[in-house]
């Protein structure tokens, strides 16, 4: 699973030692799983709990997607920062990443948009009011 | 029952037929496979007649566009109105255009050998006033049944009446609508009833003679403004009614079920002798009269044995009443039996019409519209843009006129109220929704739900009507427990 998420994240941008540290600490997995779970839960809520005829245009879906992407941006930030801070603390060093954490979080947000789309295509068909959303 | 021939005589006949058409559009059930509407009115330009004919034609166009298979649960436009027998819908009254009554009866020819006026002339002068004799008849008989009874005597010789006589079969029925206080209806009804029961020669179709006949005669329910230039005066409405009732009691033995409907006149209509200006607002009494037709259709055939034009049972007499004496009648003022017939269909159809007026253009991106292609093309199709819209507009106009009339029938709050759509029925609080959707978003939610059960192979008009019938049915059940 670590390899799978590493492939996802590093395909978009390989960030040298940051990516290696993430891989070696297995930090991709909880971030990736959280993102997938949040994306799935968010889309399920959109299609089956909100499921509202006034919120079923493509831009409503996109708005929901952006919210989930922002949430997962924050989660990636917190989780990667926590994992790498712990790694470097053990070594008695200061964590050297800042820009990399931002980039990784952004990549996670982009993947969240992709997850949202994929989950939408799978689950939308049984939604009463949103089965034509985003198209 | 097979066919129900509904013959409306005069302006009231047209207005009651209009009410019946609106009830049928809303899905009020009638125990007849089809309705055959016929209007007898010498005033071909009468506004009320024009409106009734136009509404019936539009109803038929909507009806013809629907599938009417047994699997359909849609009851909107559920009864066939058949206009093929008499496409014009009218039995013409001949020789009345631009002819003075005295010329019609040949008053000037009533002379003896020496060219002096004879006894016939004297009799005609006793029976008819100068004003009667000089009266023209292209706009009807202007409240003079004594003229009408002479002129209408000839309508049975028309091709249309003969076609009717040929068309009536066993198991069919005839219902006659007339007013008792005017001219055309008051004169035409007893004549028509007698003509139907007339003994036929053996080779003629005897079904007409023995057909069960129902009739509603509308007692005075409005006055007309006094106008010295008009021949119509409402002052003698009651005395004319009494005289006619007395005549019916002694001489009218042809009708199986006789309905009397009336109201204390509390409204004043413009005084119009006829023509396009004779266009009275719809009134609750006309709706009640239309309900008489539905009531008549409920009877079984065994209730009306008729042999060689003679009733084997005595006539049944019925009146219509409401529960509360209200100036503004709501559903709460109607008897339970009446509500059972009209409340649910009228509420469903009113919701449907209001949705079409207030919301549909904003909902064309909803799944129910996208999936079944209810798009701009559909909205501009003849079915939607011309036919359905015409009936919808007529229906709302009909309700609005009844609610503005006196006594008013005002069961619905018709004004646009998008923030409280289901505050529709007067004096009735809708149940609150617990699912976080309200007003037209709830309506769309239900449409989106119901569209999934549609049989996509049906025609688009059928799908449209079926969808809205199912959705409004669910909404009135959840909001009003109907």
* ipTM of this predicted structure: 0.82
Name the B residues in 344-363 with CB < 8 Å from any A CB: 363
Tokens 């004549």 belong to residue: B191
Rounded mean pLDDT, B426-450:
89
Half-sphere exposure of B309 (CA within 13 A, CB side): 14
- Residue A60: exposure state from Cβ atoms within 10 A (0-12, 13-18, ≥19): middle
Q: Name the most confidently modeled range: B149-158, B256-265, B272-281, B429-438.
A: B256-265
Q: Are B397 and B48 in contact (CB under 8 A)?
A: no
Name the minimum distance, in Å, from the CA of B170 to any CA of chain A.
51
Nearest by CB to residue A53, choosing from B366, B371, B452, is B366
Name the minimum distance, in Å, from the CA of A62 to any CA of chain B.
16
Partner A contacted by B367 (CB < 8 A): yes
Cross-chain Cβ contact B445/A132 below 8 Å: no
Beta bridge partners of residue B217, listed in sequence order: B178, B260
Can you give the residue range of the structural domain that contains B165?
A: 3-96+140-321
Name the minimum distance, in Å, from the CA of B458 to any CA of chain A.
21
**C-alpha of B129 from chain center:** 33
Nearest by CB to residue B370, choosing from A54, A128, A132, is A132
Quick one: which of B144, B145, B150 has its CA closest to B123? Answer: B150
Is residue B438 a part of any domain in this protein? yes
Is residue B65 a part of any domain in this protein? yes
Q: Which among B295, B321, B347 is the end of a domain?
A: B321
> Cα separation of A26 and A8, whole Å?
14
The predicted structure's pLDDT at residue B92: 75
Say whether pLDDT at B15 is over 80: yes
Beta bridge partners of residue B39, listed in sequence order: B8, B90
Half-sphere exposure of B195 (CA within 13 A, CB side): 20
Is residue B148 a part of any domain in this protein? yes
Half-sphere exposure of A46 (CA within 13 A, CB side): 33
- Give the Cβ contact number of residue B324 at 10 Å: 10
The predicted structure's pLDDT at residue A78: 93
Partner A contacted by B441 (CB < 8 A): yes
The predicted structure's pLDDT at residue B200: 65
Average pLDDT, chain B: 85
Nearest by CB to residue A132, choosing from B367, B444, B449, is B367
Rounded mean pLDDT, A38-42:
95
- Co-location of B270 and B233 in the same domain: yes
- Co-location of B92 and B121 in the same domain: no
> Cα separation of A83 and B146, whole Å?
106
Residues of chain A contacting B370 with CB distance shorter than 8 Å: 132
- Co-location of B21 and B83 in the same domain: yes
DSSP A34-98: HHHHHHHHHHHIIIIII--TTS-SHHHHHHHHHHHHHHHHHHHHHHHHHHHHHHHHHTT-----S
Residue of A nearest to B453 (CA): A128
**CATH at residue B69:** 3.40.50.1440
Residues of chain B contacting A56 with CB distance shorter than 8 Å: 365-367
pLDDT digit string, tens, across residues B393-405: 999 999 999 999 8
pLDDT band at residue B110 under the 50/70/90 scheme: confident
The predicted structure's pLDDT at residue B314: 86
CB pairs under 8 A between A and B: 33
Number of H helices, E strands in chain B: 16, 14
Residues of chain B contacting A130 with CB distance shorter than 8 Å: 367
- Co-location of B179 and B151 in the same domain: yes
Say whether pLDDT at B246 is over 70: yes
Cross-chain Cβ contact A52/B366 below 8 Å: no
Q: Are B193 and B176 in contact (CB under 8 A)?
A: yes
Angle (CA) B101 B102 B106, round 5° = 115
Residues of chain A contacting B474 with CB distance shorter than 8 Å: none
The predicted structure's pLDDT at residue A42: 95
pLDDT band at residue B251 under the 50/70/90 scheme: confident
Coil, helix or strand at residue B269: strand
Is residue B327 a part of any domain in this protein? no
pLDDT band at residue B141 under the 50/70/90 scheme: low
Residues comprising chain B, all counted: 482
Beta bridge partners of residue B286, listed in sequence order: none
Name the minimum distance, in Å, from the CA of B374 to any CA of chain A.
14
pLDDT band at residue B205 under the 50/70/90 scheme: low
Say whether pLDDT at B276 is over 60: no
Residue of A nearest to B452 (CA): A128
The predicted structure's pLDDT at residue B150: 72
> Cα separation of A103 and A106, whole Å?
5
Tell me the backbone φ, ψ of residue B91, rounded to 5 degrees: -90, 115
Residues of chain A contacting B449 with CB distance shorter than 8 Å: 128
Cross-chain Cβ contact A132/B371 below 8 Å: yes
Cross-chain Cβ contact B367/A56 below 8 Å: yes
Cross-chain Cβ contact B445/A131 below 8 Å: no
Report the percentage of chain B scoring pLDDT > 70. Answer: 87
Query: What is the C-alpha radius of gyration for chain A, rounded to an integer number of angstroms?
Result: 17
- Co-location of B243 and B347 in the same domain: no
Cross-chain Cβ contact A128/B437 below 8 Å: no
Is residue B326 a part of any domain in this protein? no
Q: Which among B135, B158, B185 is the end of a domain?
A: B135
Beta bridge partners of residue B174, listed in sequence order: B5, B213
pLDDT band at residue B157 under the 50/70/90 scheme: confident
pLDDT digit string, tens, across residues A1-29: 888 888 888 888 888 888 888 888 888 89
Residues comprising chain A, all counted: 135
Rounded mean pLDDT, B276-302:
88
Residues of chain A contacting B367 with CB distance shorter than 8 Å: 56, 128-132
Name the minimum distance, in Å, from the CA of A108 to any CA of chain B.
32
Lowest mean pLDDT across B150-159, B322-331, B455-464: B150-159
Is residue B328 a part of any domain in this protein? no
Best of A45, A52, A54, A133 to substitute, by most chain B Cβ atoms within 10 angstroms, is A54
Interface residues of A toward B, Cβ cutoff 8 Å, are 52-54, 56-57, 128-132
Cross-chain Cβ contact A128/B441 below 8 Å: no
Partner A contacted by B449 (CB < 8 A): yes
> Cα separation of A68 and A117, whole Å?
12
Q: Which helix (H) or strand (E) holds B37?
A: strand B34-40
- Co-location of B466 and B346 in the same domain: yes
Output the six-digit token pair for A31: 């971030």
- Co-location of B87 and B110 in the same domain: no
Dihedral angle sign, alpha carbons of residues B95, B100, B104, B108: negative
Q: Which helix (H) or strand (E) holds B174?
A: strand B173-179
Partner A contacted by B375 (CB < 8 A): no
The predicted structure's pLDDT at residue B122: 83
Q: Return contacts of B392-400, CB within 8 angstroms, 24+ apart.
A: B392/B352, B392/B353, B392/B356, B392/B357, B394/B18, B394/B22, B394/B51, B394/B54, B394/B55, B394/B58, B395/B22, B395/B25, B395/B26, B395/B349, B395/B350, B395/B353, B396/B353, B396/B357, B397/B282, B398/B18, B398/B19, B398/B22, B398/B282, B399/B350
- Give the Cβ contact number of residue A92 at 10 Å: 6
- Residue B251: exposure state from Cβ atoms within 10 A (0-12, 13-18, ≥19): exposed
- Co-location of B280 and B419 in the same domain: no
The predicted structure's pLDDT at residue B269: 62
Residue of A nearest to B368 (CA): A129
pLDDT band at residue B252 under the 50/70/90 scheme: confident
Is residue B259 a part of any domain in this protein? yes
The DSSP output letter for B117 is B
> Cα separation of B76 and B345, whole Å?
8
CA distances from B35 to B61, B79, B168 (A): 15, 7, 12
B233: left (phi over 0), alpha (psi -120 to 50) or beta: beta
Q: Are A95 and A27 in contact (CB under 8 A)?
A: no
pLDDT digit string, tens, across residues B24-83: 999 999 999 999 999 988 776 677 888 999 999 999 999 999 988 767 789 999 999 999
Q: Which residue has the higher pLDDT, A67 or B220?
A: A67
Cross-chain Cβ contact B448/A53 below 8 Å: yes
Say whether pLDDT at B202 is over 60: no
Cross-chain Cβ contact B367/A57 below 8 Å: no
Partner A contacted by B467 (CB < 8 A): no
The predicted structure's pLDDT at residue B283: 93
pLDDT digit string, tens, across residues A58-82: 999 999 999 999 999 999 999 988 8
- Residue B206: exposure state from Cβ atoms within 10 A (0-12, 13-18, ≥19): middle
- Co-location of B114 and B255 in the same domain: no
Number of structural domains in chain B: 3
Name the minimum distance, in Å, from the CA of A40 to any CA of chain B.
23
Angle, in degrees to the nearest 10, between helices A28-44 and A2-12: 80
Nearest by CB to residue B441, choosing from A54, A130, A131, is A54
Q: Which among B113, B135, B157 is the end of a domain?
A: B135
Q: Strand B173-179 relative to strand B90-91: parallel, antiparallel, unpaired?
A: unpaired
């Amino acid at each position: 699973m670590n390899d799978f998420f590493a492939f996802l994240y590093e395909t978009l941008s390989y960030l040298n030692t940051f990516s290696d540290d993430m891989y070696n600490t297995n930090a991709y997995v909880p971030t990736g799983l959280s993102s997938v779970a949040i994306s799935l839960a968010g889309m399920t809520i959109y299609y089956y709990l909100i499921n509202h005829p006034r919120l079923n245009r493509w831009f409503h879906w996109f708005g929901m997607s952006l919210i989930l992407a922002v949430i997962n941006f924050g989660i990636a930030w917190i989780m990667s920062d926590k994992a790498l801070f712990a790694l470097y603390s053990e070594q008695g060093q200061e964590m050297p990443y800042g820009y990399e954490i931002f980039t990784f979080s952004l990549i996670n947000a982009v993947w969240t948009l992709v997850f949202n789309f994929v989950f939408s295509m799978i689950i939308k068909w049984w939604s009463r009011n949103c089965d034509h959303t985003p198209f | 029952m097979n066919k129900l021939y509904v013959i409306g005589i005069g302006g009231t006949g047209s207005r009651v037929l209009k009410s019946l058409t609106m009830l049928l559009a809303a899905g009020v059930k009638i125990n007849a496979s089809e309705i055959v509407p016929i209007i007898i009115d010498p005033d071909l330009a009468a506004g009320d007649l024009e409106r009734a004919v136009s509404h019936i034609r539009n109803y038929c166009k909507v009806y013809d566009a629907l599938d009417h298979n047994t699997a359909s649960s849609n009851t909107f436009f559920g009864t066939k109105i058949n206009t093929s027998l008499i496409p014009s819908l009218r039995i013409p009254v001949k020789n009345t255009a631009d002819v003075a009554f005295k010329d019609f009866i040949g008053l000037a020819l009533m002379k003896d050998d020496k060219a002096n006026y004879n006894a016939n002339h004297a009799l005609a002068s006793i029976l008819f006033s100068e004003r009667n004799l000089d009266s023209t008849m292209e706009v009807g008989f202007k409240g003079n049944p004594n003229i009408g009874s002479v002129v209408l005597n000839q309508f049975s010789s028309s091709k249309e009446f003969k076609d009717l006589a040929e068309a009536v079969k066993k198991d069919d029925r005839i219902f006659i609508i007339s007013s008792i206080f005017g001219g055309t209806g008051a004169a035409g009804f007893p004549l028509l009833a007698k003509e139907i029961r007339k003994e036929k020669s053996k080779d003629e179709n005897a079904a007409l003679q023995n057909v069960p006949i129902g009739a509603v005669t509308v007692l005075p329910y409005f006055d007309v403004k006094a106008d010295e230039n008009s021949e119509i005066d409402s002052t003698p409405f009651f005395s004319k009614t009494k005289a006619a009732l007395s005549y019916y009691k002694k001489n009218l033995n042809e009708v199986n079920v006789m309905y009397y409907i009336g109201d204390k006149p509390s409204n004043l209509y413009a005084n119009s002798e006829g023509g396009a200006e004779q266009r009275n607002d719809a009134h609750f009494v006309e709706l009640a009269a239309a309900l008489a037709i539905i009531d008549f259709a409920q009877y079984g055939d065994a209730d009306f044995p008729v042999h060689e034009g003679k009733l084997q049972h005595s006539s049944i007499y019925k009146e219509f009443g409401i529960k509360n004496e209200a100036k503004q009648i709501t559903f709460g003022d109607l008897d339970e039996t009446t509500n059972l017939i009209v409340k649910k269909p009228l509420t469903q159809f009113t919701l449907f019409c209001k949705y079409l007026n207030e919301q549909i253009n904003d909902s064309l991106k909803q799944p129910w519209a996208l999936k079944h292609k209810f798009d701009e093309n559909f909205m501009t199709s003849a079915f939607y843009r011309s036919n359905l819209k015409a009936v919808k507009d007529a229906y709302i106009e009909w309700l609005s006129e009844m609610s503005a009339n006196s006594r008013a029938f005002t069961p619905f709050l018709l004004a646009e109220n998008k923030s409280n759509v289901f505050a529709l029925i007067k004096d009735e609080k809708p149940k609150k929704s617990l699912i976080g959707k309200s007003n037209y978003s709830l309506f769309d939610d239900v449409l989106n739900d119901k569209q999934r059960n549609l049989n996509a192979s049906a025609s688009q008009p059928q799908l449209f009507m079926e969808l809205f019938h199912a959705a409004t049915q669910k909404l009135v059940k959840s909001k009003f427990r109907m």
